[in-house]
Amino acid sequence: MPDNVGVSEARHVLVLPDRDAAEAVVEALGERFGVGEEPLLVRDALAGEDDAEDAQWLVVLWDEDERLDPVALDEFVAEWEGWREEP
């Protein structure tokens, strides 16, 4: 039996159009949702693109207690022209 059976891998992946938006989201998450743990910020280059401008930024939040409302996160990230990916 795998070690992770019964363990929730609750996380949210927020996709943002640029680094400035991603950094603003990270800062605002603590204020709006009380997120204490620093989210992971990742640059996601689009396939086949060499230009640094052609990248999305991901903000990954772990939510083991499943206390973050996905609908509220959708509305929140839309303020920066982003969206929430289903894991």
Q: Is 22 exposed, middle or buried (0-12, 13-18, 19+ CB in 10 A)?
A: buried
Q: Residue 13's beta-bridge partner residues?
A: 60, 85
35-73: pLDDT as tens digits: 878 899 999 876 555 555 568 999 999 998 888 999 999
Write down the pTM of the prediction. 0.80
- Which DSSP symbol is given to 63? -
Q: Residue 15's beta-bridge partner residues?
A: 58, 83
14: tokens are 């927020």
| Structural domains in the chain, sorted by start | 11-85 (3.30.70.3450)
